Homo-oligomer: A and B are copies of this chain.
Amino acid sequence: MKLIIAVIQDKDSNRLSDALVENEFQATKLSSTGGFLKAGNTTFMIGVEDTHVERVLEIIKENCKSREQLVAPISPMGGNADSYVPYPVEVQVGGATVFILPVEEFEKF
């Protein structure tokens, strides 16, 4: 038995929840801030048998891994025209920081 603690971006949270449920893994979500990832983030706690750790890591990677996203140019309307970029830019989104902790005992009441 292991406890997987994954800190991911809020924007990937629903997608990861859905993928875990589809694969019949149960997770508890804690709202968290700062640190490992700059944007708003969510901490998932997932309790799994040893043999399922690799599968859960795959699911986290598929749904949350750091990637580049093309962001459409933002209209300078009401903003600073000096900083206006008239073409789409790539920004880094997503990412996951994952700790796998040993569990000595697991109980369900």
Contacts and interface: CB of A to CB of B under 8 A. Distances in A.
Contacts of A29: 32-35
B5 A45 contact: yes
Main secondary structure on A side of the interface with B: strand
Interface string A26-45: 11111111111000010101
Interface in A24-74: 26-36, 41, 43, 45, 47, 53, 57, 60-61, 64-66
A66 to B, nearest CB: 6
Give the size category of A's interface with B.
35 or more
Interface of A: 1-3, 5, 7, 17, 26-36, 41, 43, 45, 47, 53, 57, 60-61, 64-66, 95-109
B98 A101 contact: no
A65 to B, nearest CB: 4
